[in-house]
Amino acid sequence: MKTLLLVVASLLILGSDGLAQVSGNAAYSESYGKLRPEQNERDKRLLPPGDLPPGSNTMFIEASVLINVPADEYVAVFAVSQEGETPVECNQKMDAVLKQFLEGLKPLGIAGKDVFVDFIAQEKIYGYHVQDNAAKEELAGFELKKNVSIHYHDKLLLDQLVIAASREKIYDLIKVDYIVTDPDSVKTRLLEAAAAIIKRKAAAYERLFGIALLSPPQVYANKPSVYYPSEMYEHYTAYESEQVDRAFYQSKYTIQNLRKSHTFYFNPLNGSGFDTVINPVIVEPVVQFTLYLKLKYEIEPKLGKPAGQ
Residues 6+ apart with CB under 8 A from 275: 63, 64, 65, 194, 197
Range with the largest mean pLDDT of 11-15, 37-41, 69-73, 133-137 = 69-73
Region 22-50: mean pLDDT is 71
Phi, psi of 149 (to 5 degrees): -100, 130
Please check whether residues 167 and 206 belong to one and the same domain. no
At 138-182, the pLDDT tens digits run 999 999 999 999 999 999 999 999 999 999 999 999 999 999 999
Please check whether residues 207 and 282 belong to one and the same domain. yes
Total domains, the chain: 2
Q: Is residue 201 part of a domain?
A: yes
Query: Could you say which of 179, 209, 229 is where a domain stops?
Result: 179
Q: What pLDDT, on a 0 to 100 scale, did the predictor assign at position 236?
A: 82
Q: Is residue 2 part of a domain?
A: no
Region 115-125: mean pLDDT is 95
CATH number, residue 119: 3.30.70.2970
What does pLDDT average to over the chain? 85
Please check whether residues 45 and 88 belong to one and the same domain. no
At 172-194, the pLDDT tens digits run 999 999 999 999 999 999 999 99
b/e sequence 254-269, b meaning 16+ C-beta within 10 Å: eeeeeeeeeebbbebb
pTM of the entire predicted model? 0.79
Query: Could you say which of 179, 206, 229 is where a domain stops?
Result: 179
Please check whether residues 153 and 91 belong to one and the same domain. yes
Please check whether residues 54 and 202 belong to one and the same domain. yes
Please check whether residues 220 and 156 belong to one and the same domain. no
Alpha helices in the chain (DSSP H): 20-23, 35-44, 87-105, 158-167, 183-209, 246-249
Please check whether residues 91 and 196 belong to one and the same domain. no
- 221 alpha-carbon distance from chain centroid: 25
Question: Where do the DSSP E strands lie in the chain?
Answer: 5-8, 11-12, 58-69, 73-84, 115-131, 134-152, 172-179, 213-227, 233-238, 241-244, 263-266, 276-278, 287-299
Please check whether residues 194 and 67 belong to one and the same domain. yes
Region 226-237: mean pLDDT is 88
Q: Is residue 307 part of a domain?
A: no
First to last CA, the chain: 101
Please check whether residues 86 and 196 belong to one and the same domain. no
Query: Is the pLDDT higher at 251 or at 11?
Result: 251
- Burial class from Cβ neighbours inside 10 Å (0-12, 13-18, 19+) for residue 23 reads buried
- pLDDT higher than threshold 80 for residue 37: yes
Where does the pLDDT of residue 30 fall: very low under 50, low under 70, confident under 90, or very high at 90 and above?
very low
Where does the pLDDT of residue 257 fall: very low under 50, low under 70, confident under 90, or very high at 90 and above?
confident
Residues 6+ apart with CB under 8 A from 229: 17, 22, 23, 176, 178, 266, 268, 285, 286, 287
Where does the pLDDT of residue 26 fall: very low under 50, low under 70, confident under 90, or very high at 90 and above?
low
Contact 161, 152 (CB under 8 A): yes
Please check whether residues 210 and 283 belong to one and the same domain. yes
Please check whether residues 295 and 155 belong to one and the same domain. no
Q: What pLDDT, on a 0 to 100 scale, did the predictor assign at position 92?
A: 96
Please check whether residues 127 and 226 belong to one and the same domain. no
Q: Is residue 309 part of a domain?
A: no
Query: Could you say which of 179, 194, 209 is where a domain stops?
Result: 179
Q: Is residue 305 part of a domain?
A: no
Closest CA to 188 of 73, 273, 278: 278
Contact 299, 213 (CB under 8 A): yes
Is 267 in a helix, a strand, or coil?
Answer: coil
Q: Is residue 308 part of a domain?
A: no
Q: Is residue 173 part of a domain?
A: yes
At 44-97, the pLDDT tens digits run 888 776 676 677 789 999 999 999 999 999 999 999 999 999 999 999 999 999
- Per the structure, the complete domain to which residue 83 belongs is given by 73-179
Q: How many Å apart are CA 197 and CA 207, to the nearest integer? A: 15
Q: Is residue 267 part of a domain?
A: yes
At 260-303, the pLDDT tens digits run 888 888 889 999 999 999 999 999 999 999 999 999 999 988 76
